[in-house]
Structure 1
Amino acid sequence: MGEASLLLHKEEEEEEAEEAEEAESSVNRTGNVWTAVAHIITGVIGSGVLSLAWSVAQLGWIAGPFAIVFFAAITLTSAFLLCDCYRTPDPEHGPGRNRSYSEAVAMSLGKNSAWAFGLIIQISLCGITIAYTITSAISKRAIQKSNCYHNAGHEATCEYSDTYYYLIFGAVQIVLSQAPDFHNIQWLSIVAAIMSFAYSFIGFSLGVGQVIENGYVQGSLTGISTSSAIEKMWLVSQALGDIAFAFPYSLVLIEIQDTLKSPPSENQTMKKASTISVVVTTIFYLLCGGFGYAAFGEATPGNLLTGFGFYEPYWLIDFANACIMIHLVGGYQVYSQPLFANVERWISEKYQDSGFINNEYSLKLPLIPAFRLNLLRLCFRTVHVVCTTSIAMIFPYFNQVIGVLGAVNFWPITIYFPVEMYFKQRNIEAWTTKWVMLRIFSFGCLLVTMFAFVGSIEGLIGAKIS
């Protein structure tokens, strides 16, 4: 009887393995280095680039560029660690894929770590989509203000309510959120990446033009002067939070890696794509941040293209803000799709027999191709977009919000979990040279995160009170 049970159990395991193999083979992975670069740049260059001139202005000409390069190096180091966690060694079935960051944490560090990670990452993903909603509304309003200043003069009172802009962005995201997964939005990421290059280049070019018009470089080695050392400390900490927000894409790295075809191995392709993307974005960030500060000095705005350091040419300002809006439409989806997948996967596993949750319906509307509709996807994703839009309307404070989000995301998701998974994957023994170096790396980043978080929270509270 025992042998029969063992045999039956073995057959069930083999059947499960076959089913998993079939499911795996049904996923059509066609991504390459350049599609991965498009996804990464879409995820990285977003709201963060717009605040970099302000961040450099708080830190000054020495600490500002150094901080940008510092965070770039940390981001790339973390990305390399995380790339190697896409496939988890399995003694029975060989290396298996982890289709999401949360799966990789669960496989490497266990269920308790996966639960803690899941909570942090869902909060972070929601926070980023809130920041993107705020930035998109600000950009829409900036176009209207730019046209008003052009027509009525720079001294005119050009104030507009942005409620309408938030609602438009939310409506667009409700529609786009019905795309089933990452594999269905590669085109959106490519378009969004092009837009990010466009407005970054425009911001850089306008800064160069303003410096040439001024005839000299503004700014100082210590940054913008303040009334007290305490105020300076809070602004510096907030600037570090803004820079931290501008770089990391660890939240979606493994999801992007899961779109890649092999051979070559996914981790090699992803490391190459990460290197290209981080180098390109760092150059953009240094140019945009540096020339923004050089152009305006003490008057550097919190948002380079919507804080109206620039007024003319108004049509170019309008075009840059339109590019920002298009980019953020794609960026919102890049960060939302992992959240959608995690929640919907958990609900589907919990209620496997529910037709509402698992049934797919084909819907054909005039003039557009047929698409699949799922009632769970329709309801949950709509509620998510409504919630993020509502929160963005309550806390529309650009620099403070992205400072808080940068600090919250930076250490736990970009540093702690990749380091811990790397230890587990590579069986790094305690007190070896590599172990000590990575522990110092992790602890140093924790201190920076805590400093940035406290300062950004202080700034958010101060903005809300005022």
Structure 2
Amino acid sequence: MGEASLLLHGEEEEEEEAESSVNRTGHVWTAVAYIITGVIGSGVLSLAWSVAQLGWIAGPFAIVCFAAITLTSAFLLCDCYRTPDPDHGPGRNRSYSEAVAMSLGKNNARAFGLVIQISLCGITIAYTITSAVSKRAIQKSNCYHNEGHEATCEYSDTYYYLIFGAVQIVLSQAPDFHNIQWLSIIAAIMSFTYSFIGFGLGIAQVIENGYVLGSLTGISTSSGIEKMWLVSQALGDIAFAYPYSLILFEIQDTLKSPPSENQTMKNASMISLIITTIFYLLCGGFGYAAFGEDTPGNLLTGFGFYEPYWLIDLANACIMIHLVGGYQLFGQPLFANAERWISDKYPHNGFINNEFSLKLPLIPAFRLNLLRICFRTFYVVFTTAVSMTFPYFNQVIGVMGAIIFWPLTIYFPVEMYFKQRNVEAWTTKWVMFRIFTIVCFLVTMFALVGSIEGLISAKMS
């Protein structure tokens, strides 16, 4: 679907009309809210487990390295929002796919379109799994409180998946990114809340223990091969915790100017990634310090903590609310890409292009489109079904983190940088970036293979 991005630069009059219809009012703090909503997601819940696999030195070091790479990538991408080509003027690239198409051409745009759609879909699947796990954790927490920590407290999670899917079907009818700013702000507040609760409970557990658990080499295993697979999966989980490049352009397209969008976005990226990395280090570090060898795969649903049960319930409720917004933050770009492609293929089809207004009591009128209703409903049903088939939290996010990280955070940003700055082959800068790209590729492949192995093992067990 990357091919659709080329079609967005058609007639100048149509482009100007589309631009005039968008009211961009965002600033650095709304961008920070969007970024935190998109970056601090279900990945934070696995970081204690990831640090536990890597140990006290490699675990925090890996988190900081992934953060630094993500920020470098973000700075490269921010400058690609405005097209430097004089033939097109300072036109906006309103999505990552448009920027790739304009900078790297049709073939790269097609490859990018496939990768990003798979990535966006994978993240929404992971968010669906996490939301259902959190709903079930609330019920289990109450059961353990009433029946004792040794009680069985096993519940089916099918009902929870269906509830989350139903909510997303309704919210997915919002026409575009600009209509869900309020949801992103609420979701960002929720992410702060459950992150604070997570590392707060970790601190409390460390104080109760009276000492810090864990070791420099991480959790011991029965064999070197098993350790290798767990380390690779941990790297995939950490990579999943930084999916920022996927949504950068859509967020930047909400910003007003002046000041220039790229400068505002760089400031927002710096602020947001510093905040999120601090949270990640606190959650991952204190989680491992509290539980050591028994660190759960999901810090707030793995029941390392049992009490106070009401605080665990609150944290999981915040996760659920956050993931409602997070699903939309990653789902809306996917919807927009697919619907633009379909609309360009069939420009005169009334089912695809006609809109109508619906007014319900007590709420403002809103626009609906038959393609939007059908496609987005089908998509939510699909992601819900896949989530129910593969409900393996750590393994799924490890696979998705590895798939997303290298192409979208490393390869395309570097290639667009080379193109825009006319970096010549075999110069110092060219060699350094090539080494950087190759090293990141090898790490990503290592994480992908290990995460797939973990997913297959979980499905077979």
Specify the TM-score bucket, using the shorter chain as the normaliser: over 0.9
1:192-246 alpha-carbon deviations (Å, 9 max, x no partner): 0000000000001000000000000000000000000000000000000000000
Alignment pair present for 1:64 and 2:59 = yes
Determine if contact 1:88/1:425 at 8 Å carries over to the other structure: no
Deviation at 1:367, TM superposition (A): 2.3
Match of 1:97, SS? coil
> What are the equivalent positions in structure 2 for 1:14-163 lying under 5 Å apart?
16-163=11-158
Decide which of 211, 219, 224 is 1:224's aligned counterpart. Answer: 219
In 2, the alpha carbon distance for the partners of 1:405 and 1:270 equals 25
> What are the equivalent positions in structure 2 for 1:186-225 lying under 5 Å apart?
186-225=181-220
In 2, the alpha carbon distance for the partners of 1:396 and 1:31 equals 36
Deviation at 1:90, TM superposition (A): 2.8
In 1, the alpha carbon distance for the partners of 2:299 and 2:390 equals 20
In 2, the alpha carbon distance for the partners of 1:19 and 1:248 equals 32
In 2, the alpha carbon distance for the partners of 1:19 and 1:275 equals 35
Decide which of 356, 362, 371 is 1:376's aligned counterpart. Answer: 371
Deviation at 1:425, TM superposition (A): 1.1
In 2, the alpha carbon distance for the partners of 1:259 and 1:292 equals 36
Aligned partner of 1:177 in structure 2 is 172
Alignment pair present for 1:243 and 2:241 = no
Radius of gyration: which is bigger?
Answer: 1
Aligned partner of 1:307 in structure 2 is 302
Alignment pair present for 1:422 and 2:417 = yes
Match of 1:185, SS? helix
> What are the equivalent positions in structure 2 for 1:264-275 lying under 5 Å apart?
264-275=259-270
In 1, the alpha carbon distance for the partners of 2:389 and 2:11 equals 48
In 2, the alpha carbon distance for the partners of 1:118 and 1:465 equals 32
Q: TM-score, normalised by structure 1?
A: 0.96
Percent of aligned pairs with the same residue?
A: 87
Deviation at 1:369, TM superposition (A): 1.7
Extract unaligned runs of 5+ from structure 2: 1-9
Aligned partner of 1:8 in structure 2 is none
In 2, the alpha carbon distance for the partners of 1:102 and 1:140 equals 35
Extract unaligned runs of 5+ from structure 1: 1-14
Deviation at 1:365, TM superposition (A): 1.4
In 2, the alpha carbon distance for the partners of 1:203 and 1:19 equals 49
Q: Which residue identity does 1:217 align to in structure 2?
A: V
Decide which of 427, 433, 437 is 2:432's aligned counterpart. Answer: 437
Alignment pair present for 1:324 and 2:319 = yes
Deviation at 1:93, TM superposition (A): 4.1
Number of residue equivalences = 452
Q: Which residue identity does 1:45 align to in structure 2?
A: I
Aligned partner of 1:362 in structure 2 is 357
Match of 1:88, SS? coil
Q: TM-score, normalised by structure 2?
A: 0.97
Segments of 4+ moved more than 4 angstroms: none
Q: Which residue identity does 2:316 align to in structure 1?
A: N
Aligned partner of 1:394 in structure 2 is 389
1:300-326 alpha-carbon deviations (Å, 9 max, x no partner): 000000000100000000000000000
In 1, the alpha carbon distance for the partners of 2:18 and 2:31 equals 23
Aligned partner of 2:4 in structure 1 is none
Decide which of 280, 283, 288 is 1:288's aligned counterpart. Answer: 283
Deviation at 1:25, TM superposition (A): 2.2
